Amino acid sequence: MKILVTGGTGFIGSHTCVELLGSGYEVVIVDNLLNSKASVLDRVAAVSGKRPVLVKADVRTRETLRGIFTEHKVDAVIHFAGLKSVGESVQKPLQYYDNNIGSTLALCQVMAEFDVFKLVFSSSATVYGVPASVPVSEDFPLKATNPYGRSKLINEEILRDLFVSDERWHIAMLRYFNPVGAHESGMIGEDPSGVPNNLMPYLSQVAAGKLSVLSVYGNDWPTPDGTGVRDYVHVSDLANGHKKALEKLGQAAGVFTYNLGTERGYSVLEMIAAFERATGQPVPYRIVGRREGDIAICYAKASLAKAELGWVAARGLDEMCSDLWRWQQYSDKSVQ
């Protein structure tokens, strides 16, 4: 089976390529390298023993996609490519809508031209907006609170419409909670350009001495210790979820939506403590005001993914933190 992975040199994409290659799939990546580097493929090859093909291109370029589908007999597509910074999306909404929706439109059109109807799409827990309660299940009301989140919601609606129009489509929309960690080898991980926005990459750069102190955004949230609670899920578990989703799509047409999370929420202070425990590194922090747009608490109900995909998040906090730290140390000395 040959899988086209858009955004395959990025954080979740590169881990998914490792998972797919390790399970005998062939992988072709299309990525414009806007937020990733081609050099990750040397490391993907080192850990999996196989090297995916990379086509450096924008997914919105239909002619390039046609060239890929003509050259490769693609069986299914995993669509990771997109922009993902919430704050940036507020500043640059047109860029976000153009990229995140335009890429899906171009991809689905060209897939249909080539009779490829199996698609796994990267959605996000952000589509639940401010959930009324936890755990959050797939049937909760959907509401985006920023252009990034709206781009995910619109994509989900487009994909539902697509299936209504043509029942040959097999589509899985995976709503990730908070992806963290790195490949257990320590050779592949998240490589944010500039100062990270997300908690775990920031925290690990503080531990490495690259940033001086972690700002904890508020200790007055209605949570047990007052800091925000999230469902952190190991990126290798997410990668495995994509493989399971592909297997599911092999069996049935339809549009399927799954939460991918651990069903367990941890606070910011718990994450700092877990990181310090797993790595032995101190993480200096200070409490500051709340970050605009944040929510108090969010964690998944993931029983649908368990029942229908046979997927559960196998890795705990310890592995998330120690794998992330291994990658931090490796990338500081080896990755350009």
**Minimal CA–CA distance to 168: which of 217, 112, 208?**
112
126 is a site residue for ligand WQD (CB under 6 A): yes
281 is a site residue for ligand WQD (CB under 6 A): no
**Minimal CA–CA distance to 128: which of 115, 114, 113, 146?**
146
12 is a site residue for ligand NAD (CB under 6 A): yes
Among the listed ranges 54-62, 209-217, 243-251, 316-324, the one in contact with ligand NAD (CB under 6 A) is: 54-62
Helix (H, G, I), strand (E, B) or coil at 183: coil
Q: How far is the CB of 280 from ligand NAD (least distance, A)?
A: 26
CA distance 112 to 135: 36
Q: Which of 145, 198, 219, 303 binds ligand WQD (CB under 6 A)?
A: 198
The interface partner of residue 205, options being ligand WQD, ligand NAD, none and the CB cut-off 5 to 8 Å by kind, is: none
Among the listed ranges 17-25, 55-63, 127-135, 309-317, the one in contact with ligand NAD (CB under 6 A) is: 55-63
The interface partner of residue 80, options being ligand WQD, ligand NAD, none and the CB cut-off 5 to 8 Å by kind, is: ligand NAD
Cβ atoms of 98 and 105 closer than 8 Å: no
Q: Which lies closer to ligand NAD via its Cβ, residue 194 or residue 209?
A: 194
Residues 6+ apart with CB under 8 A from 320: 180, 181, 200, 232, 234, 274
**Minimal CA–CA distance to 26: which of 5, 52, 65, 54?**
52
Residues 97-156 that bind ligand NAD (CB under 6 A): 99, 103, 122, 124
Using CB positions, name the residue nearest to ligand WQD: 228
CA distance 24 to 169: 24
Helix (H, G, I), strand (E, B) or coil at 28: strand
Using CB positions, name the residue nearest to ligand NAD: 10
Which residues lie near ligand WQD (CB under 6 A)?
84, 86, 124, 126, 178, 197-199, 202, 214-217, 228, 230, 268, 291, 294
